[in-house]
Amino acid sequence: MNLLSKVNEIVEERRDSFIALSNRIWEYAETKFEEHQSAEVICKLLEQEGFRVQRNVAGIRTAFTASYGSGNPIIGLLGEFDALPGLSQREAAAYYEPIIEGGNGHGCGHNLLGVAPLAAVIAIKQIMKEQGLSGTIRYFGCPAEEGGSGKTFMVRDGAFKDVDCALTWHPASYSSVFSCSTLANYQVYFSFKGKASHASSSPHLGRSALDAVELMNVGVNYLREHIIPEARIHYAITNPGGASANVVQGEAEVQYLIRAPQINEVKAIYERVLKIAQGAALMTETEMIVTFDKGCSNFVPNHALGMVLNQHLQAVGLPAYEEAEHRFAMSMGETITKLDREAAVNEISKLTGQQPKRIVKKLGRFPFFSDVFSFVESNQLIYFSTDVGDVSWVVPTAQFFGASFVAGTQLHSWQLVSQGKTSIAHKGMLQAAKVLALAALDLLLNPDIVEQAKEELQEVTEGIYQSPIPLHIKPSAVK
Ligand SMILES: [Zn+2]
């Protein structure tokens, strides 16, 4: 029996339990650093399976590793399981309807993302045992990908120092190896302290912290014209200083998320944003306090590993859908705009080097893409960030997008939450598990690929990596 049939058999045999686990994590919908139940169900299962589980990695209660086997190579599979705030949504509904108003939801499909590598390590373990393979397979339980950069803290703490290669995936509406770079970022809070007072009887005695936040935002909006076009600056007012117009706001806070292709570019823009914040404090006679929250590096794709993933992604292929799934997908597809679909096509075009027109043709039986896209070596940039970036700077890393949703479904949308518990998503997750298992087995069996991947990383980074997070900064979970 070849490995593909073997992996297929093991994963399919246990498909119901993997699906049930993914659904449970979807229901827990726990956000950054609070994924206690989600992390625990995965830890428990891996313990039962005979993996050596280490909890509390990097001092984060929801970060863990689970290893099987011994010696080198050590192949890491990265799993995430955090949800997003404000994205509560009823399952399998082709209309917007939150289950809990303002509640959390799995808007990035991490309920699937975390279970596929889990299913993969279980399959790998069984095959390692049966075939007496040496080496180590390790599941990395990585919390707070959304807004917390859990992996960046884990990397800074040395959690990946003995790992030879790392593999992961991300659910998407199409299948292709992720061969582009991503944006590095910093997340920083600026809080202002002024003096509260009666807005009408004694406005001259007040010093408004909210004015400082507004002036800072205006200043940064003027800065936008004078930064590199690839950079992004986002903000959210995290404390407006109260809900009363009749009180001069004594306290206010704004969160900034600054992104650019390289971490040194992020840092340079941050220094300028900092000057604007200081200027706002000066103008309003308020005190300004900076709190660095987190940062992450850009992703360095490893092409040697990308080739391995691509080979298995092609071999495993796309899920086959039933008629009922097509019907549901058609109604969901009606809520997805032409622009959403174009955004997906443009992304695929960057990953594959193919003209968008050719990709549109692959929308065979709309609303699914009818092909696994072949990737090309690329130095293109995709405009989002991932903390897989920091892992990729210290360990050769490859990841792929696995078709799990209707074509054009955007990440962080209610449509994605709605689909996260459907058989369409489950099929994508199980295909991804098989690809990850086969690729990891390939690495265990072929040490020369591991060496090649390491050489490539050394060449690209010259062995230089500096954590974007200063040493004294702790993850917000342990503050
Ligand atoms: Zn995600």
CA dihedral over 356, 359, 363, 368, signed as positive or negative: negative
Report the distance separating Cα 198 and Cα 177, nearest Å: 59
Dist. CA 456 → ligand 1 center (Å): 26
Structure confidence at residue 367 (pLDDT): 87
- Cβ(146)–Cβ(103) below 8 Å: no
Dist. CA 316 → ligand 1 center (Å): 22
Q: Which helix (H) or strand (E) holds 102?
A: none
| pLDDT tens track, the chain, 479 positions | 699 999 999 999 999 999 999 999 999 999 999 999 999 999 999 999 999 999 999 999 999 999 999 999 999 999 999 999 999 999 999 999 999 999 999 999 999 999 999 999 999 999 999 999 999 999 999 999 999 999 999 999 999 999 999 999 999 999 999 999 999 999 999 999 999 999 999 999 999 999 999 999 999 999 999 999 999 999 999 999 999 999 999 999 999 999 999 999 999 999 999 999 999 999 999 999 999 999 999 999 999 999 999 999 999 999 999 999 999 999 999 999 888 888 889 989 988 888 898 888 777 657 898 889 988 888 799 999 999 999 999 999 999 999 999 999 999 999 999 999 999 999 999 999 999 999 999 999 999 999 999 999 999 999 999 999 988 898 887 65
Q: Is 86 left (phi over 0), alpha (psi -120 to 50) or beta?
A: left
Structure tokens at 216: 């800072």
Dist. CA 477 → ligand 1 center (Å): 19
Q: What is the pTM of this model?
A: 0.94
Structure confidence at residue 365 (pLDDT): 59
CA atoms within 13 A on the CB side of 178: 27
Structure confidence at residue 479 (pLDDT): 55
Dist. CA 146 → ligand 1 center (Å): 7
Report the distance separating Cα 62 and Cα 104, nearest Å: 18
Structure confidence at residue 1 (pLDDT): 62
Q: Which helix (H) or strand (E) holds 181?
A: none
Dist. CA 109 → ligand 1 center (Å): 7
Dist. CA 233 → ligand 1 center (Å): 20
Burial of 290: CB neighbours in 10 Å, binned 0-12, 13-18, 19+: middle
Dist. CA 213 → ligand 1 center (Å): 30
Dist. CA 26 → ligand 1 center (Å): 13
Dist. CA 373 → ligand 1 center (Å): 20
Structure tokens at 377: 């070596």
Dist. CA 107 → ligand 1 center (Å): 8
DSSP for residue 477: G
Dist. CA 98 → ligand 1 center (Å): 20
Residues whose Cβ atom is located within 5 A of ion ligand 1? 108
